Each structure stands twice: as C-alpha cells, then as structure tokens.
Amino acid sequence: MTVAGPGEKPDFKSVLASVDTTGRRRWVEARIVWGRWRRLRLLLALPLIAFYCTIPFVSIHGDPAFQIDLTARKLWLAGVAFWPQDLSYLVIVVLLGIVGTLLTVSWLGRVFCGWFCPHNVFLEMLFRPVEHAILGGPGSPLKTVWWRAALMWGVFAVIAGGLANAGTAIFVGADAFRAYLLLDWTAHPYATVFWFALFGIILFNFGWFREQTCTIVCPYGRFQSAMLDSHTLTVAYDAKRGEPRGHLKRGEPASGVQGEAPTQGSCIDCGLCVRVCPTAIDIRNGNQLECIHCTACIDACDMIMDKVGSPRGLIRFASEEELAGRKRQVIRPRNVLYLTVIIVLSGLLGWRLAARTDVMVAPLRQTAVPVRELDPQGRDCVRAVLPLSLVNRTGHAVSATVSLGGGLAALVILPQLLVSLPPGERVAVSPIVYIPYDRFTVRHLDVTVELHDASGRLLGSTEAGVRAP
C-alpha cells in the first residue's frame, strides 16, 4: 500500500499513486485476496501461461506451430508459412486487432490489461505469489531475512529463464534447444545474446519495475482509457451506497441503527481495496488511468461485506450510467460500427485466405531491355525477360510450368521444362517471353504470368508489365 508522505495531500488526479509529488517511486506491495474473480483469473491464466511456454516447441506435420523466422524472412502460423509478400494478411489482422480492441473497450473496459495481458498474467499469477510464499505479504518480518530474499530471486531467475527460453524459441525454433531447456550457445551465438538480454529484461521487469510498466511505459493502457464512455462496463465503486464512509464499531450494523436514518454508508473505510490494488489506486476516487480492471478490489470488498453482514457489490462491474441509476445501453452506434467493420474485415481475411494459392508468384525488377525481333517460329514479337520470385507454400515439392495467360499466344522459354520448387522454399527464375508485336496497342502491356503443375492445375499467378521497344 502507498500513502502520502508527511504533509502531503493525496492528489490522484495529477500524481500517480505509485509516485510521490516529487516523482520518486513508492514501492507497491499488493496483498493477495482470494475470491471468485481471482479464481476465474487463475483458471484463465493457467492455459495462457502454458500456451506461451509451449507453443514455440509445438510442430504441426513437422512445421512450427508458431515461429518468426527472421533469417528465412517468414512467419509460421499453425504450421503454415507466411512470407513478406503476404503482408496484406498481416495488415488485415492488425486492423482487426485495432477495431476489436475498440469494441472490447467500449463494451467491457480494460479487461485485456487485467485478464489477458502477459505482463499482468505473469506478475499476478507467478511472480507475486512466489514472493508472498517466500517472504510473506506486506509488512511481513520475513522480508528482512536475507536467505529468503536470495531464494526468492533464485526462483525468479528460474521462471525468467523459462520465459526467456520460450521467447527465444519463437525466433530460432525448438531445434536450437537441447531437451527444450538449454540453448545451444555455440551453434546460435546471436540467439544466445538475445536470450541473455531477454532474461535480464524479464527479471528486471517482474522483479523490480512491475506496475511502472503499466502506468509509465505501456501506451496500450492509455489508449484504452481514452476509449471509455459512460456506458462502458468498468470496475466501479458505488458511492451512493458507500458514502458517507466511516469505521464500523463492534456490534453496529454497517448501514446504521435499525429503524433510523443511516449514520454512514456501507463502506467502512478499511482501505483493503487500496492495499490489494497492483497499481495502488483508490477505486473510491472513481475510474482512473492506472486501473487495469483486475478485480482484486472487488474480491477484497466482497470479503469485507461478508464479514460485516452487508450485501456484496459495493465495488463491482458497472457503468457510470448504472451507478447514476440510469439504464446502460449495450448496443450503441459506435459498437454497431465497430462490429460491422470487424465482420467486413473478417470476411475479407477469409476471402483472401480462401484464394491463397500453393505457390506465390511475385515479379522482380526487370533489368533487361525488351527488344523487337523474330521469335523461333518466325513471328514479329517483343522479347522480354520477366524475373519472378516463386515461393512454395506447401510442405511438399512442386514442379511447375510458366505461361502467360490472357490468350496472348506468347512463347515462354526456360532453361528447364519444369521448374522444381522445394517445400517451403523460394526460387527465382527469369523466363524469356516472346509476345506478338501486334498485341501492343500501346507501348505498355500488362500480362498475367501463371504457374501450372503437370496436371494443368493453377498454382499461382501475378501481373507483370512489358514495354514495347
């Protein structure tokens, strides 16, 4: 818990809860209170942690389930390789993520920060429980025992090493690790440097920096906070029920003397909602930038309400409209707009994926100058060289022929009759094409380059331009 210094008056509107008025950090030691919301977060966090730690080591039909292969310049996703030429898929996915975030925040507030964000999942479900198990909670005398502190940092280092393994395997693959535990340093020196850097960042972040990542570094939380409105579901304190707050005397009902006007609200001013907050805010001051909607304050308040015999829900998920006694509008114009855009983008992505061919054909820069001459058949033609990049997206070898579509009656010449494409590899070819000169109604002609397998099935195509000499 953090409190104002001597002579200071807390100012939550202009000063972060985790720093004082001079900008110096106040260490946040959040208590852990178990309740229904923390149990739900744990049930969600366990598969998320398992997914992060195992997905880089999983393969599908011999190909990585997820890997960012920088040296080969391709992304493996669900066993399918995506190349730089597949940038359109990434653009659609990024747009889906942005609009999906807008829709989620508009409806449910910052649930990503408190429930899905890797930083808070690892911090609240791994590092902080380890700290409490070894050193005890806030104010524990065990914190002064040096060997316990050393043990805690040793466990932190083991966890950070495992997370660094997974993070490094995303880029170099599972084959770079011996038994998935020890990186082969001699064979992968650059990956080793990356591993140590990532290990240090993880240990520093979760061992010391902690909540400052959310309140100072991460722009995502600030972006989400700007998207909230009065109808957004947030973690909120019911001031109408809780005020005026005051400490409860033994044997006194929380809402005052029975049969008389309440002498105080349901809030007994115990401060537990502040002591459990990982960013040290007081939720009773209203929605704040630092709130990550982790629901720790809801569990703490519900526990206190049970003890004093008051109904739960003094702190709960609610919108500003609901707290003011008005009806919350779930379906609003902005949400309909976001949902419509998501549907359109999803349909576009599905259509692009359905149209994805086995071989990706991309034109390269033409360096040879087209000339007008007779082709081997004696026709008046334009001879041009069309450099092509061919990427085999499949997991098996492909043999293909190159031709020009559009009924051009063009002649294509390659050193070999069939182009052999190894699985998952890129091959560059430069076919020589003879295009009848009378097809050039203008000096520039757009042609379609097609790839077919031995059975005539279309494997891929691209557009290329040919200038008339």
How far apart are the C-alpha atoms of 247 and 271, rounded to whole Å? 10
> How crowded is residue 222: how many other Cβ atoms within 10 Å of its Cβ?
11
- Is 329's pLDDT higher than 60? yes
Inform me whether the pLDDT recorded for 273 exceeds 60. yes
SS3 144: helix
Structural tokens at position 247? 């400490």
For 111-162, write each residue's pLDDT tens digit. 999 999 999 999 999 999 999 999 998 989 998 899 999 999 999 999 999 9
Tell me what percent of the residues of the chain surpass a pLDDT of 70: 94
Highest average pLDDT, of 81-85, 198-202, 358-362, comes from: 198-202
Enumerate the H helices of 211-263 as residue ranges: 212, 219-225, 239-242
User: What is the phi/psi pair of residue 184, to 5°?
Assistant: -75, 95
Q: What's the CA angle centered on 209, arms 194 and 3, to 5 degrees?
A: 175
pLDDT of residue 49: 96
Model confidence at 165: pLDDT above 50 = yes
- Got the DSSP string for 57-115? G-EETTEESEEEETTTTEEEETTEEE-GGGHHHHHHHHHHHHHHHHHHHHHH-SHIIII
Nearest-10 crossing angle of helices 189-204, 146-172: 140
> Dihedral sign, CA of 453, 454, 455, 456?
positive
Say whether pLDDT at 4 is over 70: no
Q: Taking a C-beta distance cutoff of 8 angstroms, is the pair 441, 414 a contact?
A: no
Mean pLDDT of the chain: 89
Give the pairing type, strands 419-421 and 432-436: unpaired
Quick check: 198 and 183 in contact, CB under 8 A? Answer: no
Show me where the domains of the chain are located. 36-225, 234-323, 359-467
In order of 80, 122, 147, 360, the CA distances from 177 in angstroms are 22, 23, 32, 32
Asked if residues 457 and 396 have their Cβ atoms less than 8 Å apart, the reply is no
149 touches 135 (CB < 8 A):
yes
Dihedral sign, CA of 7, 246, 238, 35?
Answer: positive
Q: Which are the contacts of 268, defined by CB distance < 8 A and separation ≥ 6? A: 245, 246, 247, 248, 254, 304, 308
For residues 6-22, give the mean pLDDT: 67
**Of residues 122, 30, 123, 113, the one with CA closest to residue 292:** 113
Instruction: Provide the pLDDT confidence category of residue 401 given band limits of 50, 70 and 90.
Output: very high
Q: Is the pLDDT of residue 3 over 60?
A: no
Tell me the two tokens of residue 10: 């807390």
Phi then psi dihedrals of residue 372, to 5 deg: -100, 120
CA dist 223 → 98, 113, 336, 452 (Å) = 11, 11, 20, 48
Least confident of 184-193, 240-249, 369-378: 240-249
Question: What per-residue confidence (pLDDT) applies to 263?
Answer: 65
Q: What is the pLDDT of residues 245-261, one digit of tens each?
A: 888 766 566 554 444 45
Query: Is the C-alpha dihedral spanning 5, 8, 12, 13 positive or negative?
Result: negative
Long-range contacts of 364-373 (CB under 8 A, 24+ apart): 364/388, 364/389, 364/428, 369/469, 370/466, 370/467, 370/468, 370/469, 371/469, 372/437, 372/468, 372/469
Residue 159 has φ and ψ, to the nearest 5°, of -65, -45
Residue pLDDT, tens place only, 39-72: 999 999 999 999 999 999 999 888 899 999 988 8
> Long-range contacts for 199-202 (Cβ within 8 Å, ≥24 apart)?
199/160, 199/161, 199/164, 202/160, 202/163, 202/164, 202/167
* Token output for 278: 């990982």
User: What band does 87 get if pLDDT is binned at 50, 70 and 90?
Assistant: confident
Residue 121, CA atoms < 13 Å, CB-side half-sphere: 21
DSSP state of 232: S
pTM: predicted TM-score of the whole model, two decimal places: 0.83
Q: Tokens standing for 300?
A: 């703490």
What is the average per-residue pLDDT within 424-437?
Answer: 91
- The whole-angstrom separation of Cα 290 and Cα 83 is 39
Helices (H) and strands (E) in the chain, counts: 14, 20
Residue with tokens 């818990």: 1
Q: In angstroms, what CA-CA distances link 47 with 117, 284, 390?
A: 13, 33, 39
Say which CATH architecture domain 359-467 belongs to.
Answer: Sandwich (2.60)
